[in-house]
Amino acid sequence: MYTQARQFTKESSHDVFVIGLLKNGGLDTAASDLNEMLNGQIEELKKQGLLSSDKGELRSFYTFGQAKTATVYTIGLGDKKEVDAEVIRELAGKLGKKLKEDRVTDVAISLDAFLAADQTDASDIAFLIGEGLGLSTYEVVDYKEKSNKPEKHLEAVTLYTEASDDVAQSAVEGKAYAEGTNYARTLVNTPANLLTPTDLAEEAHKLSERYGFKLEVLEEEDMKRLGMGALLAVTAGSDQPAKMIVLTYQGTDKWENAIGLVGKGMTFDAGGVSLKPALGMHEMKMDMGGAGAVLGAMESIGQLKPAVNIVAVIPSAENMINGSALKPGDVIRAMTGKTIEIRNTDAEGRLILADGVAYARQLGVDYLVDVATLTGAVVVALGDYTTGAITNNDEWMQKVTEASETAGEWIWQLPSHKPYQKMLQTSNVADLNNAPGRAGGSITAGLFIGEFVENTPWVHLDIAGTAWQDKPSTNGPAGATGVMARTLTRLVVSHT
């Protein structure tokens, strides 16, 4: 899909040619070549104010037979001092939406104006363009009898640059990050009747076949044998059997320095006996956003093939109500042997993750990251824009933070002082209380999972606010965001 070229000529044939316009800056080489073909008309249109260099402003004009490429888009880059990676990702997103709207299948982009703006190497710019185009052209699957989805899709992208870097390969890598995120989006957007724990296991099976991952799926009999009482207690209220899904990727000859990625796979959450309000419950199909992020990262990892060892663990279940459902006041025993008093059955994600992180440790990981749509409290604390984090290891937290910043997915570390930890030990009948109260709810929920990681360096990411957006953004439509798939991928790729 991605190729690169050095010189744009009259014979260069594309549906659209895209050039970037900097404030107080000249045209880059490819744009200058086109300007010469058009007898200086680009410069003239700029002077007349018909083309804009304001950040994100898109304009278009025709070459009227002066070049085989009939249509030209210009995109304003703004002031070069204000252009950074996030701006370029956003600009690529705006461009992708325009290409999708116009049903463009073959586009050429003059890269060097972006390069002059950001003052980084061409490979970085190409990566961001590949990622931004991939994210912004994602479509939500619908089930309408008549759908208005466009029949044409972007198929070919040519990057014109004088740089010697392999920009096409960098763009392909950016596209791999986007495709992992889009895969996560699709999983999270899927209705719960079409994505049960069994279906989620089947998705993992498809990934294993596509990329050669080792797959293990524990059934409920296996969970009983291993003592996974927390996961089994949550699934007791559903007719759908729970699954513990494990994908293993070995990128080095020796198994060492392995990362465990654990994703909450609650394919639907009614709250159990502590029933959720009806308003908004239809969105609880997104309660497997953590599992989506982990599987999305594995999609990207399968394409990129980094020299790193990974274990992806997804405890998956439904939180429903029947005569066998978990009840407030019940005492259950997790895989590690710790007992838990249930004060709220809607605090179920931390229960299945307790067994998930414990099993990941048993499989021999050296580092852990868990991702979960865990608490409404994190939305109150951080809104829809930032993911909350809890850790037991500052050095590992710093690596996760750096990965998130590079990916453009914000996280914020929450405190984990001893008084918060003591709140978990307020049960008179069990080792832990699964819901010690509203105060510090995101913190105590994360620290609950931390009770099961022992001394393994660990970061918990609460994506309850960031996994879903009610309105479209530059990088995607309303619905699932696929958040943290790119952060996890970046963390893995940078891990040595």
C-beta neighbour count of 50 within 10 angstroms: 11
Spatial distance between the Cα atoms of 150 and 99, rounded to a whole number of angstroms: 11
Dist CA 21 CA 250 (whole Å): 45
Which residues make beta-bridge pairs with 247? 215, 312
Q: DSSP 3-state assignment of 156?
A: strand
Q: Quick one: how far is CA 124 from the chain centroid? A: 19
CA pair distance 47, 279, nearest whole angstrom: 54
Q: Which of 314, 244, 487 is nearest to 386 (CA)?
A: 487
Is 239 annotated to bind a ligand? Reply is: no
Phi, psi of 35 (to 5 degrees): -60, -40
Q: Name the phi and psi angles at 454, rounded to 5.
A: 55, -130
Residue 462 is labelled as binding a ligand: no
Q: Contact at 8 Å (CB) between 138 and 477? A: yes
Q: How far apart are CA 23 and CA 244, in angstroms?
A: 54
33 is in an annotated binding site: no
Q: Is 346 labelled as part of a ligand binding site?
A: yes
Active site residues: 276, 350
How many whole angstroms separate alpha carbon 64 and alpha carbon 38? 9
* 253 marked as binding residue: no
Residue 456: what residue type? T
Half-sphere exposure of 332 (CA within 13 A, CB side): 29
**Token pair belonging to 216:** 């293990």
Q: How far is CA 207 from CA 250, 296, 307, 434, in A?
A: 14, 10, 18, 34
Structure tokens at 14: 């594309």
Percentages (nearest 5) of helix, strand, coil residues in the chain: 40, 20, 40
Handedness of CA 304, 305, 309, 315 (dihedral sign): positive
Distance CA 299, CA 211 (A): 8
Tell me how long the chain is.
496
Q: How far is CA 370 from the centre of its chain?
A: 13
Torsion angle of alpha carbons 453, 403, 204, 187, nearest 10°? 110
Tokens 């009770």 sit on residue: 451
Binding residues for Mn(2+): 264, 269, 287, 346, 348
Binding residues: 264, 269, 287, 346, 348
